[in-house]
């Protein structure tokens, strides 16, 4: 394999960061096309194994895959350059939109667009969870399906009721499954031995200094399932600390879906609401740092992690709980809607996503357009 230059890594991974609308499936497809199909930097088996290994780690899996691929073709400096190039375009976009949507007195059309998109977010959460539930159920052996259902219900109930503590439920479900299948195991600490854990402990200590950093750390280092599982981890902090209203938080979730790059960048909107541009950048730094640490510190051990039976067993418990959390997050998201027309938009979004199988970005943009029309026509908007 001919190693690409750092300039090539910067350009190619930055290009994916700019056009990667649609979340992890789009990111994986673009990375596969570049690294396997076009440039032959990785073979198909190694790429699939990398996907599986990243899915065993907490945090945003598609970001970790982007970092791994860049590491594989250009070493640690390449992983750092490629990961940053993948993240920055979407980060710039979401911070710019946060300035617009979280302004003290946004224009009427912006308020309408936000209210319309907000109404569709709960349907997007259901679609995201539903798309994961089927494959996960099929992977579960018959003897594990009762436990799978219990984990799913536990995650859903936690997301709907005790969002800030959801991470404990996710870890608890993983630990229970591990204990059931290894009754004589003395500790679950061996799960992630292939990855160096010491830097994460350092991050935990530093994160205790700021609530924003702690919120971001839960998203980046303590969440399994990615995507919408971050919502209950953030919502209670964002609204409980009075950084955002419920409507503004929904705006942030919608912005994370319609901008390119990883969905986890929603945390930057929360950080911006809490402490301005500095807070947004801090939140992004803390949320994405664990991914760089996990991959750049542990990528040589990904083969061992992929074959680690205990890691797979842990994920067999935490994975269904994360799916349940994604589904359960739809309840608090729908509960904060206030205007009758928003519930009609929610129903329409559900029909588009679940019935007609339209894309998330198209659905959110259509919902936003409805909100703009209603606002300009003098219709009621949430306060």
Nearest to 191 by CA among 177, 206, 205: 177
* Torsion 110-116-118-120 (CA) sign: negative
What is the predicted pLDDT for the residue at 231? 82
Q: What is the dihedral of CA 146, 151, 156, 160, to 10 degrees?
A: 130
What is the predicted pLDDT for the residue at 226? 62
Residue 24 φ then ψ, to 5°: -50, -40
Nearest to 66 by CA among 88, 98, 92, 95: 88
What is the predicted pLDDT for the residue at 296? 92
Q: Which two tokens stand for residue 23?
A: 């979340």
What is the predicted pLDDT for the residue at 375? 94
Q: Which two tokens stand for residue 335?
A: 């509960």
What is the predicted pLDDT for the residue at 192? 44
What is the predicted pLDDT for the residue at 348? 96
What is the predicted pLDDT for the residue at 202? 39
pLDDT in tens, 11-48: 999 999 999 887 887 899 899 999 998 999 998 888 88
What is the predicted pLDDT for the residue at 292? 96
- List, for the chain, all residue ranges whose pLDDT scores fall below the cut of 70: 1, 185-208, 225-227, 306
Q: Which two tokens stand for residue 150?
A: 């219990």
What is the predicted pLDDT for the residue at 227? 64
What is the predicted pLDDT for the residue at 208? 33
């Amino acid at each position: 394999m001919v190693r690409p230059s750092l300039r090539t890594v910067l350009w190619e991974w930055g290009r994916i960061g700019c056009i990667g609308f649609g979340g992890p499936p789009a990111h994986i497809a673009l990375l596969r096309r570049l690294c396997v199909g076009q440039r032959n930097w990785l073979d198909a088996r190694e790429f699939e194994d990398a996907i599986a290994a990243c899915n065993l780690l907490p945090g945003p899996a598609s970001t970790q895959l982007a970092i791994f691929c860049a590491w594989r073709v250009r070493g640690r400096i390449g992983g750092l350059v490629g990961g940053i190039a993948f993240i920055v375009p979407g980060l710039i976009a979401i911070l710019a939109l946060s300035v617009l949507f979280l302004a003290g007195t946004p224009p009427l059309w912006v308020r309408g667009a936000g209210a319309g998109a907000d109404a569709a977010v709960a349907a997007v959460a259901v679609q995201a969870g539903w798309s994961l539930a089927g494959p996960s159920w099929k992977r579960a052996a018959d003897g594990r399906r009762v436990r799978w259902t219990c984990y799913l219900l536990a995650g859903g109930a936690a997301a709907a009721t005790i969002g800030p503590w959801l991470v404990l439920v996710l870890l608890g479900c993983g630990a229970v499954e591990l204990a059931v299948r290894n009754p004589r195991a003395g500790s679950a600490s061996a799960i992630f031995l292939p990855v160096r854990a010491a830097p994460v402990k350092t991050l935990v200590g530093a994160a205790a200094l700021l609530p924003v950093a702690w919120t971001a750390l839960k998203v980046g280092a303590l969440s399994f399932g990615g995507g919408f599982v971050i919502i209950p981890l953030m919502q209670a902090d964002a609204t409980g600390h009075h950084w955002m209203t419920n409507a503004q938080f929904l705006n942030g979730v919608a912005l994370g879906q319609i901008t390119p790059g990883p969905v986890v960048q929603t945390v930057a909107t929360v950080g911006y609401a809490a402490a301005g541009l500095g807070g947004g950048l801090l939140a992004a730094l803390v949320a994405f740092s664990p991914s760089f640490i996990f991959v750049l510190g542990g990528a040589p051990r990904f083969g061992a992690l992929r074959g680690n039976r205990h890691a797979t067993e842990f994920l067999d418990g935490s994975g269904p709980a994360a799916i349940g959390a994604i589904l359960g997050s739809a309840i608090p998201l729908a509960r904060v809607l206030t205007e009758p027309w928003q519930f009609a938009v929610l129903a329409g979004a559900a029909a588009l996503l679940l019935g007609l199988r339209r894309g998330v970005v198209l659905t959110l943009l259509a919902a936003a357009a409805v909100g703009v029309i209603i606002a300009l026509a003098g219709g009621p908007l949430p306060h």
